Structure 1
Amino acid sequence: MSAAYPRLLLCLLTLALALAGVAAGKISAPRTPISRDIYHSSDSLLREIKALVARHSSKLSMDTIKTSNKGYSAELFVVTFNHVKERMDNGSKVHILLSFGQHGRELITSEVALRLLYVLTEKPKIAGVDISSFEKLLENLVIKVVPMENMNGRKRVEEGELCDRRNGRGVDLNRNWSVDWGKKEKDYDPYEENPGIAPFSEPEAQIMRELSRSFKPHIWVNVHSGMEALFMPYDHKNTTPNGASAHSMRSVLENLNRRHFQDSCLVGSGGGSVGYLAHGTTTDYMYDIAKVPMPFTFEIYGDEKASSDDCFKMFNPVDKKTFDRVVNKWCMAFLILFEEGLRNLRDAQIVSQGTLENWVPIGGDIVEINVERKSSIRERRKLEGLDLGMQELRTYFRLFLLSTFLLMFMFCARISKNRNRDSGNLFDP
């Protein structure tokens, strides 16, 4: 009989570990692969951009910037749109800097960058909407587009690391900037939010900082996915800046949300709207240090029903219809942003009235039709609360399983010890 107890203990141990694995969520749902029939690879996307630049050399140019730090190298491609260069000195134009693909897993953002470049050069319509009235406004802009800020991280995703948002050596580029760098919240995840060994330790962040210094943008947008939102500073605290500049930024976002998104996007500071604080972000640097008048973060898509392990589906549309809807919707959003931003820059006298004297506004009735409204903020927060509650329940359940297993182990060990003692007494002389 005593030989059966080790087998019993082994069975109990196996059962307890299996239950604990289920409770911890380690038996994950199937992961959605990259929809390669819809999405460009990083190489094919760059080839298409280079071909577009070659066809429109009077409007587009492309620079390749490389740098390295402690054995790690990065390369960024920067596309500049400058309409009718010969008519106006660049110094009098409004500068707009757009960054896409800062997190490798957010492929949809780079697809929006590509489509936007087509819109600026070849496409007179977006989803059937004529945008020819925007032509005059484009004459007053210089737009720099970084289609894939995190090229090395994107390669890792294409190789199968679908949940990776970091660069090629494991640093989150949106935590590597100097404003409030390195601070860690209670829910800090070192895998997701590694800020690097120092501010600007990463070549990608160094390149973007130098680009912001040399270009001096009036409008900056850092484009991400994970939800639908229009954010302004701050990310590292639960407030927005004070004063006229903050009022102008909020006015731009609220007008864009009303005109184009039918008030379906979250609007406000990143730190006050997302539910967590982020330290060392690009947008906070652009506002506090680079003194960009209008720095924003756009979140352009998110599947709230996707499993946290199913990262491609969570951050990117997986079917062609949704893909086209998202890309077209946000290309139009950028055009309206340019219009709203320029109007507010003019009103704040940050740009001269003469810069916009030929500006013909887009009609205020241009909005996307059949946009599904998001849940209200109250409903969203209720769901977040339920999710936190479920996390606590899972934690308590895991502790219960662990304590139950320990009690069973102690009980079985005690029985085994007693039986062995009784057996020993039986054969004693």
Structure 2
Amino acid sequence: MGGSFLLFSYLLSVFASLPSFTVVKADSDLTRPSFTPINRDLYHSSDDLIEQIKSLVHRHPDKLTVETIKAGNKGYTSEITVVTYCQSRKETDDKSKFRILLSFGQHGRELITSELALRILSILSEEQFLPKMDRASLNGTLENVVIKVVPMENLNGRKLVEAGNLCERRNGRGVDLNRNWSVDWGKKEKDYDPYEENPGIAPFSEPETQIMRKIAISFDPHIWVNVHSGMEALFMPYDHKNRTPDGLPSQRMRLLLEELNNVHCHKRCMIGSGGGSVGYLAHGTATDYMHDVVRVPMSFTFEIYGDNTATLKDCFKMFNPVDHTTFKRVLNDWSAAFFTIFKLGPHQIDVHSKAAVSSMDKWVSIDEYFDGYLMGRRNRYGKKMEVLEVGMQEIRTYFRLFLLSSVLLLFMFCSRISKTGRQIVSAIPI
């Protein structure tokens, strides 16, 4: 009996110890996160970064101007801050100057890109300086240049990242802004991931891309750069094809990228078309639209940082430097790269070359026209114009039928005139 009691007591003590062991193990997992949080000592919040930029503009009104453009549809709204640099504000709209358009923060999780935008603007305003660059050299480089900077294209997506969704790249309603442009829009590869690449319900369905298209067409830049992170690369068109464009402009783009790779990327960066270099094709991207539709002579996508040792769920570490040394190096190297573009770009392209583009090259498809027209009207008049979206396809169809009918009528009319002419000639006596 005594032995049985001792055995029973021993078993009770063993079972009693098991829950405490399990709890300790669970607690140890909870205290060791599987992802890297945002380093608030290195990175500004979205609100603070925009405020810093506006304060910078306020301190340098002779060179910098800022505007906030808002748009929305179906209850979803967005706003984009745009900063314009020009040494003389009166010459901001001077089309004889060399024009450069830069976009940062198109994907919410790529915080480092917006930090780079702030650094570039700080250098342009001469509050910070690049190593080995003096003020005289800087002013000489920028004398005939106008630069528009979009520091955070995807503000709503960035807010989601700051709220804890560190892997979010899409906008505030789940659309990838770099798949929402019209060139080859909507095509899906075999490895298509709707979480990563949702193109939206139509080209330019999103207010952010509507705003960016309006900026690009009105500004008509000579150079476009869409800045991302995730790897180190210098891409040129195309994203939706496994090749680069033909001709001299493509050769000039590649030469400029090779210079940047040698001097600033220390030969680490991948160079080539986006579609031919990253291992997959991307459809409906901003850079392909800039090249094919806006006819920007030099259209680029830059990937400024990537950590391939990070796990798939550790998105902040994968797309952003997490230590001060790397953070500083990335900003210094890529700031210098952009100022090389500012210096070499005007020598690569004739500033008047875009004016020489034939009117035929500026034609757009019927779909493109109606998309732009209806989106613009809807932005202007709000919900009252949303009914037009329902009939967009019907309008396109009727317009095509009208054109076809007009061509047929013209053909019949010409044929009838031709027959009448032959009858008159045959009636004349020889």
TM beyond 0.5: yes
1:393 aligned residue = none
Q: Residue 199 of structure 1: SS of its match in structure 2? A: coil
Counterpart in 1 of 2:309?
A: 305
Q: Which residue in the other structure is 2:22 paired with?
A: none
Q: Which residue of structure 2 aligns with residue 165 of structure 1?
A: 169
Conserved 8 A contact 2:105-2:227: yes
> Using the alignment, how far apart are the partners of 1:150 and 1:54 within structure 2?
23
Counterpart for residue 66 of structure 1:
70
Matched, 1:316 2:316: no
Structure 2 counterpart of 1:276: 280
For 1:101, the aligned partner's letter is G
Q: Verify: 1:254 aligned to 2:258, yes or no.
A: yes
TM-score by length of 2: 0.73
Match of 2:342 among 335, 338, 345: 338
- Give the direction of change, closer, same or farther, for the CA distance of 1:89–1:222 in structure 2 (3 Å limit): closer
**Residue 33 to residue 89, structure 1, CA distance change in 2 (3 Å):** closer
* SS of corresponding position for 1:78: strand
Deviation, structure 1 residue 35: 0.2
Asked if 1:289 is matched to 2:297, the reply is no
One-letter amino acid of the counterpart of residue 289, structure 1: V
Measured in 1, the distance between the counterparts of 2:260 and 2:111 equals 24
- In structure 1, distance between residues paired with 2:199 and 2:130: 38
1:176–1:318 distance in 2 versus 1, CA, 3 Å: same
Residue number in structure 2 paired with 1:325: 329
Do the aligned partners of 1:61 and 1:81 also contact (CA within 8 Å) in 2?
yes
Q: Check conservation: 2:92, 2:146, Cα contact below 8 A.
A: no
Task: State the match for 1:83 in structure 2.
Answer: 87
Q: Could you say which residue in structure 2 is the equivalent of 1:41?
A: 45
In structure 2, relative to structure 1, the CA distance for the partners of 1:80 and 1:348 (3 Å cut) is: closer
What are the Cα deviations for residues 22-61 of structure 1, in whole angstroms up to 9, with x where unaligned? xxxxxx9710000011100000001111110000001000
Cα offset, 1:131, TM superposition: 5.8
Q: Which of 221, 225, 228 is the matching residue for 1:217?
A: 221
Distance 1:68 1:39 in 2: 28
Q: Does residue 1:240 correspond to 2:244, yes or no?
A: yes
Q: Which residue number corresponds to residue 362 of structure 1?
A: none
Q: What is the CA-CA distance between 1:135 and the residue it aligns to?
A: 1.3
C-alpha distance after superposition, 1:44-92 (max 9, x if no partner): 0011111100000010000110010111101000000011345797121
1:179 to 169, 180, 183: 183
Q: Distance in 1 between matches of 2:140 and 2:354?
A: 20
Relative distance call for 1:87 and 1:186 in structure 2 (3 A) is: closer
**1:92-111 matched pairs, under 5 angstroms:** 92-111=96-115
CA displacement 1:97-135 (0-9 Å, x = unmatched):
000000000000000000100000124622465464121
- CA shift digits 1:210-237 (9 cap, x unpaired): 0011100110000000001110000001
Letter in 2 for 1:80: T
Amino acid in the other structure paired with 1:155? K
CA deviations on 1:258-307 (whole Å, 9 max, x unpaired) are 23223221111000111111000000000001111111000000001110
Matched residue, 1:152: 156
TM-score between the two structures when normalised by the length of structure 1: 0.73
Match of 1:361 in 2: none
Matched residue count:
325
| Alignment gaps of 5+ in structure 1 | 1-27, 353-429
User: Quick check: which has more Rg, 1 or 2?
Assistant: 2
Q: Which residue of 1 aligns with 2:9?
A: none
Letter in 2 for 1:315: F
Higher relative contact order (CA 8 A, sep 6+): 1
1:50 is aligned to: 54
Percent identity (aligned): 64
Once residues 225 and 187 of structure 1 are traced to their aligned partners in structure 2, the CA distance between those partners, rounded to angstroms, is 21
Matches of 1:49 and 1:285 in 2, distance apart? 28
C-alpha separation between the residues in 1 aligned to 2:351 and 2:60? 33
Q: Assess if the C-alpha contact under 8 Å between 1:234 and 1:284 holds in 2.
A: yes
CA distance in 2, matches of 1:89, 1:290: 18
**Of 36, 42, 53, the match for 1:32:** 36
Q: Secondary structure at the match of 1:90?
A: coil
Q: Aligned partners of 1:164, 1:101: CA distance in 2, in Å?
A: 12
Taking only aligned residues, the RMSD between alpha carbons, in angstroms, comes to 1.9
